[in-house]
Amino acid sequence: MTDMRTPLKKVTGLGSAKDGTTHFLRQRLTAVANVFLISFFVILVIALQGADYASFTEALSNPIISTLLLLVILVGCLHMKLGMQVIIEDYVHSEGLKFLLLMGNVFFASIIALASVVAVLKISFGA
């Protein structure tokens, strides 16, 4: 069996991360989902324009609307995280700073998603 790696490649252990295709597909899948979800969100905002708080909470108490709104939040935050990850990996060259920024990206996207989900659930359940 012939090993096609160079001696340097064998020593450093560098090679494919085997993650690029999965990341690419996730980013494209969330982008396609966002087309429909953001369209729903825009229609919801237009429909509720000028509505008072009671009308707004009544609309969000509908399980279909609140579920779709939660999907808008979660898919949007995941798409944001994936996009920022690509930007950080491509343009930040210091490994330490790259690690900190990638960690911050995950925390930021998670905090935004969690806070938004809690707000929607609180409004939809009338708490």
Class level of CATH domain 22-124: mainly alpha
Give the model confidence (pLDDT) of 37-72 as tens digits.
999 999 999 999 999 999 999 999 999 999 999 999
Non-local CB neighbours of 114 within 8 Å, separated by 6+ positions: none
Residue whose structure tokens are 């343009």: 91
Please give the pLDDT value at position 100. Answer: 98
pTM: 0.82
Q: Residues in the chain with pLDDT < 70?
A: 1, 5, 8-19, 127
Residues 6+ away with beta carbon under 8 Å from 86: 23, 27
SS3 of the chain: helix, strand, coil, percent, to 5: 80, 0, 20
Report how many helices (DSSP H) and strands (DSSP E) the chain contains, helices first.
5, 0
| Non-local CB neighbours of 117 within 8 Å, separated by 6+ positions | 70, 73, 74
